[in-house]
Chain A
Amino acid sequence: MWVIISFIKKELRQIKRDKRILPILVVAPVLQLLVLGYAATFDIKNIEFAVCDFDMSNSSRELIDNFTSSSYFILKYQTHSTTEIDTLLSSGRIKSALIIPKNFEKQLYTDRNTKVLFLTDGTEGTMANVSLMYARTILSRFINRYNTGQMYRVPAIRYELRIWYNPDLKSSNFMVPAIFALLLSIVAMLIPSMALVKEKETGTIEQLYVTPIKPYQIIFGKMSAFMLISIIDVVIVTTIAVLWFNVPLRGSLFDLVAAILLFLISTLGIATFFSTVTNTQQQAMMSVMFLFFLPSMLLSGFIFPVENIPLLVRWISYILPLTYFIDILRNLFLKGSTISELWIQYSMLSLIGIAIFIFSLLKFRKNID
């Protein structure tokens, strides 16, 4: 035990010696959470759009009003030429356009079919999808209102809509826990993955071999030091998430701490693994970047839903600790889920942690022999 503690001390002193590392490890996550927590928003509002109204009637103006008063659309241009609409769209100055043909009002009163054309830019898929849905809803409402104006008695569906867990649909409630998880995995992975290999590269590891320190003590000592630094980050970042972004913490603190510790253990385990199988810091960095960070960001459900990933690739998601950790954090924060409800995620995290640690320890021992 004493050996490990003095090893931790040595490790911390070594980290402190480079004046830049510690501040970066503490300040960078905080800054990033503050900026990215606001930036990662799925709300789609203020879609820039243009109107080309050939009818110029009361009805057409009313329809346009329905669009602009919805807060989804911002009217940027009003023109009478479709070629101008084309150039506006292709230069990206507007995202969608509404074209109302001549005789819109006349057809509305006499014909059964009224036509309007709605154009949207498909290059930003999410935006396109959402703006289409808005347009459809606005138009159906317009028509329903028109039809009901013509009738004596109108049935309309009155329904009660309740949104649970995140009633304002705030994106930050959903994204801040995930950014938190990702930042934590960056902190817990960066330096630890290079720690052992650096000693290998500079040859100091051989000096450690000849001391009576056992291999597992070296690994535990190194990893505990980084565990401590990560925990500082955890405390600061959780405080920001809860107090600044007002992410509701509905689950129990104990469950949260358990999840964080399990996640740190498995991530540090993977860091140790990279550090034992590579020979230079450059190799360690490259493998961490491409084999860990990229998949963690793209395949963990951080932004792109895991269930959309083809099964063959989804196996990668299933071996990433971040997949389970993000899932746990989101459910724990917003729904107040407990360990018993999330036992699969908790046990997968533990399993990955234990397996990778044993594997790297064995590999490390073999290296010594």
Chain B
Amino acid sequence: MIRRILPFIKKEFTEILRDRLSITSLLLLPSILLFLYGYAISLDIKEIKISICDKERSEFSREFTDGLISSGYFRITARRESPNEIESDLRTSKSQVGIIFYPSVYKNFLRNNEPSVQILVDGSNAQSSQYTLNYLVGAIERFTQNAIKKELIRINTIQTPTEPLLTERILFNPLLKSPLYLIPGLIAFVIMITGAISTTISIVKEKENRTFEQVILCPVSPFTLIIGKIIPYFVISLVSSAIMILLSILFFDLPTKGSLLFLSYAVIIFLLCASGFGMLISTISSSQQVAFTIAAFSTLLPTIILSGFVFPINNMPEIIQLITYIVPAKYFIAILRGILLKGSSLSELYPETLSLTIFAVLIVSASIIRIKKKGII
């Protein structure tokens, strides 16, 4: 068996190595992509832009806005004379928050009367307006706290107000650096796409050009043929993934507290999922166009959206959560984050590791069974 496959692997390697451009791109492309995107993308919320219309011009309105700005999340970009201008600022996205102080806001504040501060929030960007709202509410609560303190001092009560002391500790990524939690996702994304696509194309190309038919006459089984075809790609992808992960550990300061052995196991299994998936696609597609269409639809968006890369899975509706169980990137990202950021061991990550392994076994055997039954042409 192995003696039969070896010549195929040799032949495939010579073919790949002959094409200098494609071998360098296969080896280095993942790292280049990771660097480009690792530096480029982040989910940090920049300063939130505020337009203010202050008809009150009192101590209160000044303190209120100062309180917002001192929280560090807001910046006043425009001061307007009329509420209408605020409205157009929001419409044209010049600012995300509009604050309007109507006259006599301060008196109302002390008397606990009707509101005279109007806060308008552009909710169209559901992503950032969540933060905006939370920051706003937080800043207002803090402002109230100070106001209460001042009021108490003014009326000279014996009781001094209690001040809360929230000790916060963010574990595993204390500075909440975007790259740290995005890099594992990016690694999974890049491995999935390069792995699945390079495998599927390498097989379907021969199918379409009918070069498989020539080999079919030889006394080798289609299975041997396919295995011989993908092993070289698998090895190359493994090397390039290793380069990518090592470079990202070095350059993005990933803590990497977990065991490297466990990490390598996870990468090999995930790569097996990706190539197995590519293999499965190639068994059901007749042309490169079909293969590419299926591969693009099934890897691009699902790997980004259904894997927990950006969107937390437990906030999705339950039916959708069930679908995420068949996205291998989900398990791989959880494992990578565990090993790289938390230093988790296999015993803590065994459900994910087991699922990933089962997935790899299932998908590879599914494609092997299909090849054995239907052949490859």
Contact = CB atoms under 8 A, between A and B. Distances in A.
Interface of A: 18, 20-21, 24-25, 28-29, 32, 35-36, 38-46, 48, 87, 89-92, 108, 111-130, 132-137, 139-144, 146-148, 150-151, 154-171, 173-175, 179, 182-183, 186, 190-191, 194, 198, 281-282, 285-286, 289-290, 293-294, 297-299, 303-305, 307-310, 313, 330-331, 334-335, 337, 341
Contact of B172 (A123, A171, A330): A123
Nearest to B102: A160
B159 A150 contact: yes
Contact of A39 (B126, B136, B306): B306
Contacts of A155: 109-110, 112, 144, 147-148, 151
A319 to B, nearest CB: 14
Nearest to B26: A286
Contact of A307 (B46, B306, B316): B46
A198 B292 CA distance: 13
A138 to B, nearest CB: 10
A84 to B, nearest CB: 13
B127 A171 contact: yes
B249 interface: no
28 contacts: A20-B286, A28-B297, A35-B323, A39-B320, A43-B130, A44-B315, A90-B172, A92-B342, A108-B162, A114-B162, A122-B180, A123-B181, A125-B180, A129-B131, A130-B130, A135-B166, A135-B168, A144-B141, A147-B145, A155-B112, A157-B64, A157-B109, A164-B90, A298-B41, A303-B310, A313-B36, A330-B124, A335-B91
B285 A20 contact: yes
B126 A144 contact: no
A165 to B, nearest CB: 4
Nearest to B129: A169
A166 B288 contact: no
B42 A174 contact: no
B219 interface: no
Given A114-B162, A166-B124, 19 more contacts: A28-B297, A32-B302, A39-B323, A41-B311, A44-B130, A121-B172, A128-B176, A132-B170, A157-B117, A174-B124, A174-B126, A174-B127, A190-B292, A286-B25, A289-B197, A297-B301, A299-B41, A335-B91, A341-B91
A121 B173 CA distance: 8
A341 to B, nearest CB: 6
B348 A90 contact: yes
Contacts of A112: 160-163
A300 B139 CA distance: 31
B222 interface: no
Interface string B119-132: 11111111111110
Contacts of A158: 108-109, 112-115, 117
Which residue of B90, B148, B159 has the most chain A CB atoms within 10 A of its CB atom? B148
B165 interface: yes
Contacts of B290: 18, 20-21, 24
A92 B173 contact: no
Contacts of B308: 124
Contacts, number: 362
Given A143-B162, A162-B121, A169-B126, A282 B90 contact: no
A136 B138 contact: yes
Contact of A122 (B112, B162, B165, B173): B173
B37 interface: yes
Contacts of A133: 131, 134-135, 138
A68 B218 CA distance: 68
B359 to A, nearest CB: 19
Contacts of B148: 144, 147-148, 151, 154-155
Interface string B33-46: 10011011111101
B103 interface: no
Contacts of A130: 130-131, 134
Interface stretch (B6-14, B269-277, B333-341): B333-341
Nearest to B170: A122
Given A42-B130, A171-B127, A125 B173 contact: yes
Given A144-B145, A298-B40, A160 B91 contact: no
Interface in B205-229: 205
A132 B169 CA distance: 9
Contacts of B120: 162-164
